[in-house]
Structure 1
Amino acid sequence: MYLLTVLGNILIVLLIRLDSRLHTPMYFFLTNLSLVDVSYATSIVPQMLVHFLAKRKVIPYVSCAAQLFFSLGLGGIEFVLLAVMAYDRYVAVCDPLRYLIIMQEGLCTRLAIISWVSGSTNSLMQTVITFQLPMCTNKYIDHISCELLAVVRLACVDTSSNEVAIMVSSIILLMTPFCLVLLSYIRIISTILKIQSTEGRKKAFHTCASHLTVVALCYGMAIFTYIQPHSSPSVLQEKLISLFYAILTPMLNPMIYSLRNKEVKGAWQKLLGKFSGFTSKLTTG
């Protein structure tokens, strides 16, 4: 599954780079999303696979801090990036004639930078705050990785201030983008319902279907895990959610965009046609 995640997301990035028809704002953001997905999976899965094979499942203190920083940061980047992609879909459906004027290269670049900077800044703050806590003698992390809540539970002091910090960052970096996504789709749906032809409505909805599916996968699990630390799910549920988010979601995202998107499928067919033609020439020669 990890190899499929890496292969699928790298192929999506290469396909977008190689096919000039995919050099649009939507696929620029999809490139960023694929890079985030493969990086997020890489920050967790290889170490987890090592621990499956090792008798002593040990991770150095610095490596644990690095894993927390990268996984938390990349998760935050993805939430903001999905909100940016929702805005892109809103402009495409609600103001199609001005789409290319609004979604210029400069704006797309700034929105992508905001996504990366906001997620990284929040992660740096949370990592520093968490690893300043005095840890108990028993430093056993009951989790598949150095996950934020699992590390906070190791502290020998009151962690209510940390839980407040987690709640605040969840509202800023999780719920705020989620609300922007909801607002965008409320406007999108209201615009789609005003379209007279059935074919027009189907075409408009089809442009958002892939993104909406990914949004449901990513935001749903994260909100369930982080938005209420005091009434959080059991440790087993946390592990299952982390596995889902670290392995399944990054693996499914390129499949969702490939299977539900005519432009991507067309680009795949064009690329495979060129490859088969190239190999047949080599064989003939």
Structure 2
Amino acid sequence: MQSRNALLIDLDGTLYHGERRVPGADELITALDEQGIPFLFLTNNSSAAPETVALRLNKMGIPAKPEQVCTSSMAAAAYMAARKPGASAAIFGESGLRGAVAAAGLTEFTGQTGKPDYVIQGIDREFSYEKLARAGSLILAGAEFVLTNPDLLLPSEGGLMPGAGTLGASLEAMTGVKPTVIGKPSPILMNFAFNLLGVGASQVTIIGDNMMTDIKAGADSGCRSLLLLTEEGVTTPGNLERHKKLSGVEPDLVRSTLQEVREWALSR
């Protein structure tokens, strides 16, 4: 029987802020590796391949392997491939999304006539009016609209930037079509991660700093949740009650530092 201690660990806001490692992140991951506790780094960010995510973590001193990374791009590509193997998809996103689509055996649609099976949209920092018009026209022509993740804001070194959800909102406004959302809090990403771990929802705890995505994802998918409650995360001691009301859920566990998270993980 698989371990009941499997973990899904959010990245931005939980293990790092921008390029700065959150204190205790390296010790937590090292301890999990040493104790053989199964886990995945779970991210809504669709822009980077697992290899790129792992490299970034290692550069910050957080040990990581590509096979320990689960992204919304991977889950989105798997979702499309399961519904229609070998389907065509018009991609509005970055390299991580293109790589995941190709790895799933799907074909990127680049034609000027006809329509693809899917329009898949993630974060795209080269999004333009022309891309909006093209994606919208393909959706209106009947392509299924898939959104990698609903995040409206994307943290960056220069502050908050528009996220994939903001771009998706413009497409939804243009077409009147609601997308299939893959990333947290959707159970689609969570179930994909459970399958990668080889465990059921009852065997997993998701760890994150965001009530609206991480903690709601746990509640909606049937696994436990641990809220990392710091002054630097999305959910802070000052806005916790408001975020509880907005998300409509409660975390199963709350910890204030990653050192406390490590102690909890090792004590089970």
TM-score (norm 2): 0.26
Structure (1 or 2) with the greater strand fraction: 2
Q: By percentage of residues, which structure has more helix?
A: 1
Higher relative contact order (CA 8 A, sep 6+): 1
